[in-house]
Chains A and B, each alone.
Chain A
Amino acid sequence: MTDLSIEIGGVKLANPVIAASGTFGYGREYAQLIDVDRLGGICTKGITILPRDGNPPPRLWETPSGLLNSIGLENPGIEAFLRDELPEMKKRGWTTIINIWGETAAEYGALACRLAGSGADVLEVNVSCPNVPGTRLGEREDAVRDVVAAVCDSWQGAIWVKLPPDAGIHVARAAIEAGGDAIVASNTFRAMAIDIARRAPVFDRGVAGLSGPAIKPIALRVVYELCQAIDAPVIGCGGIRTWRDALEFALAGAAAVEVGTAHYVDPCCGIAIVEGLEAYLRERKTSWGDIRGEALRKT
């Protein structure tokens, strides 16, 4: 069997295929249908200090090859998560990546503090949710620096910073300089739909987040440009649904990939990507590490 294991920020993953935040619940939702153990890691729904109800319906809108969502970070809050979800995830032996969201750097710090010693493997610092009110932290270098520094103060483990697609190189650099181990590029793209019958935006908040195959070429470009500019690992996310897509991200320099919307389309998608990558690398007698960034070097 081809060894697909990787290490990012001191955390070893069995393979580079991770279930993306907000699309895989807490893993148990899919456990009856598929062998979740086969995935490299499970990233949770965004967790906040207090429980959040999320946005009013409608929350979803299908577009050509894409999906608009405006969930609004519905989650049970950190205390219920630590009590009801994390122990189960740990018991199953999954590599757990906890996506956290706060309104201020202090809130991120508090979440990191609460998660310290919890057994979680990675904190994915979400500064890029398009579906909640407030300033768009992830587009501001100083704000990202403060948030990551606040997380670093209380959390000794690995930190991934999930950026919005239009954050830019300077924000990614700031995230790494402040103590981030890796960049996740990226969250959904700010986008919208208008209901022509009502002549009004589909979503209450107007703007929502676009995911799915429609964004893959743009997400790939974001990863490609980041990998050209920074040395830290970049985890690719956006529209990945086949092993070929995952391979493209690896060739563009991604250290790992997150699979999101594709799991709605096919619950077996992530596992199929792992198997496809294994077969490809075995046939070509190469490894994930060797092909990683190859297209970058040919630019």
Chain B
Amino acid sequence: MEQQILLAEVQLTNWVSGDAFLMSVTWREEDPAERSGDVRAGQFFMLRAWDDEPLLSRPMSVFDWHRTGAAQTSAIETEFLCAVRGRGTALLSRLSVGAPIRLVGPFGNGWPLESMAACSRVAVVGGGCGVAPLFLAAKRLAKTGSKDGPRIDAFLGFRGIPYSAVCNRYADVVSKVIVSSETGASASESQRGSVVAGRITDAFDPHGYDMVLACGPRAMLIEIDRRCRQRGVPVLVSLEERMACGIGACLGCAVRTARGVKHVCKDGPVFRSDEVIWDD
């Protein structure tokens, strides 16, 4: 999908925990001839639903993506999983149904799903809001792999109460979901499957996987990288950094890699874990 400036409206905001919510926004593509293709899993948009303050838009990766409607007027619905961290995310969380929201993007490389078609087992490992950019990847990989494609397992770790609604969405598309809570909090009754107490890295064994996709706190990614390295399992990570533009202009979101300084917005957010220089 080509980068563009989109005016969308909020369709639904669904709280999945005390401070995290799934926000669904939609926009119409009036001209079918100008249909812009689909977002790649792992890409992100810069979101803005306010005038002056806070100054910057907020980068949010796409959680899910649907195209609906007939050929004449197709609509796109995209979901973002956000946690309230500051003023921007607080404003996003309070948007009411029908509220206008501006999206600029999509930006970033996304997960190279085409290269995983030959995998037989893939694990997605997410921590907290890091479960967001993995869902569309898991869904699309699972779909292409109905017969010969990979079996997908999802490892979803949370500090406190798990995002049950999100875990259930994963359960709909992947083979197995393992959910953990560091505080040992139990999930809501609606959640399918049980919750293990402890860190998700303790519940995750890379043995038997051809590829691991991970997103979450840096300490989690470092641990995943370490374990997978021991087993020789390749890991792709989606990284997060403060950014102003999303487009490769401000150079704010720098990460050190074996191939030099790279930028999360343009060269990432997905990087090969073995190329990231973690010890800074």
Contacts and interface: CB of A to CB of B under 8 A. Distances in A.
A25 B250 CA distance: 7
A62 B52 CA distance: 13
B245 interface: yes
Contact of B254 (A29, A32, A57): A57
A264 B245 contact: yes
B243 interface: yes
B261 interface: yes
A63 B4 CA distance: 27
Nearest to B51: A265
A268 B280 contact: no
B251 A71 contact: yes
Contact of A268 (B5, B52, B249, B252): B5
Given A53-B261, A267-B104, A32 B252 contact: no
Interface stretch (B53-61, B113-121, B221-229): B53-61
Contact of B251 (A58, A74, A212, A261): A74
A74 B2 CA distance: 27
Interface string A48-70: 00000111111111111111010
Contacts of A213: 52, 55
A61 B242 contact: yes
Contact of A67 (B48, B244, B248, B254): B244
Interface in A62-102: 62-67, 69, 71, 74
Contacts of A66: 55
Given A29-B247, A264-B245, A267-B104, A62 B252 contact: no
A24 B104 CA distance: 16
Given A45-B251, A54-B254, A54-B261, A64 B53 contact: yes
B241 interface: yes
Contacts of B248: 25, 29
B195 interface: no
A33 B52 contact: no
Which size bracket describes the interface of A in this complex?
Answer: 35 or more
Contacts of A67: 55-56, 244
B68 interface: no
A23 interface: yes
Interface residues of B, number: 31
B252 A23 contact: no
A74 B261 CA distance: 9
A15 B5 CA distance: 24
Name the residue among A32, A57, A65, A69 with the largest chain B CB count within 10 angstroms.
Answer: A57
A213 B56 CA distance: 12
Contacts of B48: 265
Interface in A208-229: 212-213
Contacts of B254: 54-57, 59, 71, 74
A23 B244 CA distance: 9
Contacts of B241: 57-58
16 contacts: A22-B250, A29-B245, A32-B2, A33-B104, A45-B251, A56-B256, A58-B242, A60-B250, A62-B56, A64-B53, A65-B55, A213-B55, A263-B249, A264-B245, A267-B104, A267-B247
Q: Can you list the 7 inter-chain pairs with the closest CB atoms, starting with the nearest? A: A60-B252, A25-B249, A264-B244, A60-B242, A264-B245, A29-B249, A59-B252
Given A57-B280, A62-B242, A261-B244, 9 more contacts: A63-B55, A69-B250, A71-B252, A74-B251, A261-B55, A263-B245, A264-B56, A265-B48, A265-B56
Interface of A: 22-25, 29-30, 32-33, 45, 53-67, 69, 71, 74, 212-213, 261, 263-265, 267-268
Interface of B: 2-5, 48, 52-57, 104, 241-245, 247-256, 260-261, 266, 280
